[in-house]
Chain A
Amino acid sequence: MSDPNISPLPDELPCEAVKLTKKDFTSDQEVRWCPGCGDYAILAGVQRVLPELGIPREKLVFVSGIGCSSRFPYYMNTYGFHSIHGRAPAIATGVKVSNPDLTVFVVTGDGDGLSIGGNHFMHALRRNVDLKIILFNNRIYGLTKGQYSPTSVLGQKNKSAPMGVIDYPIDPVTLALASEATFVARSVDNDPKHLARMIERMAKHRGAAFLEVYQNCNIFNDQAFDDFKDKDVRGDRMIDIEHGKPLVFGKDRSKGIRLNGLAPEVVEIGEGSPWEEKHLLVHDETLPDSTHATLLSRMHYPDMPVAIGVFRRVERPTYESMLTDQISAARARSGPGDLARLIDSGDTWVVDANGGSQVNLS
């Protein structure tokens, strides 16, 4: 698994020179998230990255469901569709399939994407529709004011669980990997550079791309991730996984992750330790099998550092490209659609003015 026979990073999208700025992607609508919300950072990240991609504004579509995160399209000066709860991946699939030339983002949250929309989430990913799905994970329902979500931690007390949550949470990255997404990444709302890098990389991927962002809801679930993503502690409690590199972390980069059997474990590296960098797991985004990525996705604080970065990046033909190929193949075989021929198919017979008839068996 750690054999570093590793392919270089991609630059899949040929970019035309279109000189746009962040301002070009900002709509005239007033942003209505709560002051201090982590959503602002993600909006800023997307608006900062888009000009770099060289995609004309009219070819960008943002589709969302329902929830705080799903207001996102209103703030983007692109095409946008604020739809219904959980259904954004399905609507976005229709958009992308109808015009593969468009770059289609889906903006969703932990409730929208994993609870009411869990089915569409899974199927959009497994089909490898070229969608860029950003999931804002704040581990709570914000817009409906504080009920627990599928990612809320066990025992958390909130509006709908005053005695504590008794649902086991699900990890979105693990779920995306199990759903055969071809690009899977995780970032945090308080590291703009990392976030921008992840957005850019997902945008450049061709195929179903998933990015989870740990996002703070300062009203209903404040500091939910601070135990590990706070600036003061993140060095020791998070690990930025990088393609082709051994899994080293820690403020002074003195720790690493090795595989002990099938389980990742934290080891000290360097002087006085039997472990050196060469013993560590080397990250490979491009492994066809997602077991390695899944192991990393399941590292949770406090037992393990939380991994951010790109877990998986593999290339497969997309759904829409295969559909387009089938249409071309059908046209090559039967010629372009001929309506008169379609109507006049099967066994037919002609009734003439005298009531006589002539039969044509197909």
Chain B
Amino acid sequence: MSTDTSTAPPVDHAIQELDTVTIRFAGDSGDGMQLTGTQFTNTSAVLGNDISTLPDFPAEIRAPAGSLPGVSGFQLNFSSRDVRTPGDEPDVLVAMNPAALKVNLSDLVDGGMIIVNTDAFTPNNLRKASYDTNPLEDGSLAGYRVFQVPVTSLTGRALDEHGLGKKQVDRSKNFFALGLMYWLFDRPLDQTLGWIHEKFGKTPEVAQGNEAALRAGYNYGDTVELFHTHYRVRKAELAPGKYRKITGNEATAIGFVAAAELAGRPLFYGSYPITPASEILHELSRHKNFGVKSFQAEDEIAAVCAAIGASFTGHIGLTGTSGPGVALKSEAIGLAVATELPLIIVNVQRGGPSTGLPTKTEQADLLQSVFGRNGECPVAVVAPATPGECFTMAIEAVRIAVNYMTPVFYLSDGYLANGAEPWRLPELSELPPISVTFATDAEKYRPFGRNPETLARPWAIPGTPGLEHRIGGIEKQDISGNVSYDPANHEHMVRLRAEKIERIANGLPPTEIFGDPAGKVLVVGWGSTYGSITSAVERLRSQGKSVSSVHLRHLSPLPGDLGEILSRFERVLVPEMNLGQLALLIRARYLADAVPFSKVQGRPFKISEIVGRVDQMLEGLQ
């Protein structure tokens, strides 16, 4: 928590102004911590703070109550400045039970604030959290500011006054904690109150209980002499415009709806439930009035195959999944490459291999996307960098797919998918048009004839008289599309398909460099590492260091100017949440000495980690 100024109106409590705060809410997976964090986020966003969030929850819906694996957390960075990450270290930890304290304490900044629900610190819960002694009593928290609040019993008392039973207490105590945090950080209750009454309109006793708990928490902060100070974080200076809070999965879903509208073709979404991509299926299922056809398939393979069938029939064929699902879809993606049909595959990456870490983030499916199929099977690969950018990159993915008649991978990850930020609403006129043309001229039509510029074959959809043709996974004769086993034709087609993907680079804008166009260290990243990398480079540059960064949105093909940019820097560092997959591609492609910087812990990079690694690299140059 960094302090700007200290203005203390001497009423009951002092108010201190801060410019950035990172809070982590932590509790049992049944304690409603995701909801609590989301509500705090919404209120802060609407209040005008810049925000960035990191929900962090277990794969189990309800792991054993009170256990260490059952801890669910939600970290939020809110600020009066521009923030790009959820914060390296929480300033404030709200721990609803001993396990939540144990799991999260080591991340807390030295001297940070801990608010604990003392009611949950029972001998039984302490044992489940593997505490030999009660940390609230044994002095082990001496380096922190600890506030002990009997959240459960206070919630019980508040609900008693409204004649609500004990059963509701457990369901409402997170609202007490939220109310207390609203008081502590000087936030209004209206936004959450409005949400409570909308959400629980049909169960008035639940709405009443939650409201009572929220208000009780707020009033507790205001009246009890526990906190001597509360804090204010002013609005951020965001660019003028209209904003909403958006998560990556939300932006992905509405981005594809927008792309289909721009293309003037209906969207078909084939998907099979999988963490952390399912929200895209939920969201798209709600937009049938756009003509979106969402199809929950019997398995991952059917999901992609139905999307391919839809694409053959002139829809925008989209399938969404996570890494294990991509593994199952691989053969069908090869079919779309061979038949040269547009197809978009959303991969919301998670920790692997195999089932791996379903709810944690990772970027280890890059090589799977670029290479993971039989045969020479090139596809386009794009990756959004922020939750809001998931919207624009969805449009870009569809543009490439239909312009080049090719499958396109869209690589999101768990961190982008669930993380949120304020998103400035684009004007419709700012969105690029996507032009789709179907073949209709039977005289000129050749199933595998090509656009001389893009090498795309024509898209001729069933229902068009005179253009009846057959496509399939067997190698085809160039132009005619007839089955062909001719050796020379096969090599010709393999090279054509590769060249078609390479030509996508011709249509890309020049790569943006953050910082100077030449210098000592260039940090190259892709996907969700954008926030940490850019903040780190900004910090290093403010210290006068010669560091720039490039963040790639296109990974296949790589931008045409990338090789030349790399050559202008003495060293190239590639931070990735994998063991160096982009670094491998860059080294292979440009013979450049790209140095991987890996983190595979299911968590995003901290800014300080990247700053430290770049500093180390700079020292090596002296």
Contact = CB atoms under 8 A, between A and B. Distances in A.
Interface in A300-332: 323, 326-327, 329-331
Contacts of B310: 94-95, 97-98
Contacts of A349: 45-46, 48, 242-244
B288 A327 contact: yes
Given A94-B268, A334-B289, A337-B291, A101 B463 contact: yes
A90 B306 contact: yes
B10 interface: no
Interface in B438-469: 461-469
A271 to B, nearest CB: 54
Given A81-B472, A98-B310, A327-B289, A351 B240 contact: yes
B288 A330 contact: yes
B470 A340 contact: no
A79 B468 contact: yes
Contacts of A11: none
A61 B290 CA distance: 26
Listed residue (A29, A93, A334, A346) with the most chain B CB atoms within 10 angstroms of its CB: A93
B579 to A, nearest CB: 31
Nearest to A357: B48
Contacts, number: 218
B287 A342 contact: yes
Contacts of B464: 58
A120 B258 contact: no
Nearest to B309: A94
A84 B426 CA distance: 41
Interface residues of B, number: 75
A81 B309 CA distance: 9
Contact of B463 (A73, A81, A102, A346): A102
A217 B621 CA distance: 73
Contacts of A331: 288-289
A102 B313 contact: yes
A129 to B, nearest CB: 10
A83 interface: yes
Contacts of B315: 94, 98
Given A59-B463, A337-B289, A357-B48, A90 B305 contact: yes
B242 A350 contact: yes
B470 A82 contact: yes
A93 B462 contact: no
A99 interface: yes
A84 B334 CA distance: 10
Given A97-B310, A336-B289, A344-B425, A357 B235 contact: yes
B473 A94 contact: no
A244 B295 CA distance: 38
Given A82-B474, A94-B307, A337 B462 contact: no
Contact of A58 (B305, B308, B468): B468
Given A347-B191, A349-B48, A94 B245 contact: no
A136 B314 CA distance: 30
Interface in B248-271: 254, 257-258, 261, 266, 268, 270
B184 interface: no
A63 B266 CA distance: 22
A58 B339 CA distance: 19
B403 interface: no
B314 A99 contact: yes
B257 to A, nearest CB: 6
Interface stretch (B296-304, B489-497, B541-549): B296-304
A98 B312 CA distance: 9
A183 interface: no
Interface in B334-386: 334-335, 339
Contacts of A329: 288
A358 to B, nearest CB: 9
B482 interface: yes
A87 B191 CA distance: 49
Interface of A: 27, 29, 56-59, 61, 63, 73-74, 76-84, 87, 89-99, 101-102, 119-120, 122-123, 323, 326-327, 329-331, 333-337, 339-340, 342-353, 355, 357, 359, 361
CB-CB nearest 8 A-B residue pairs:
A94-B309, A82-B472, A337-B290, A94-B306, A90-B305, A80-B470, A330-B288, A98-B313
27 contacts: A58-B464, A58-B465, A58-B466, A59-B462, A74-B483, A81-B309, A81-B472, A82-B470, A84-B335, A87-B305, A93-B302, A94-B317, A95-B310, A97-B310, A119-B298, A326-B288, A327-B291, A343-B254, A346-B246, A347-B42, A347-B45, A348-B242, A349-B45, A349-B48, A349-B242, A350-B243, A357-B48
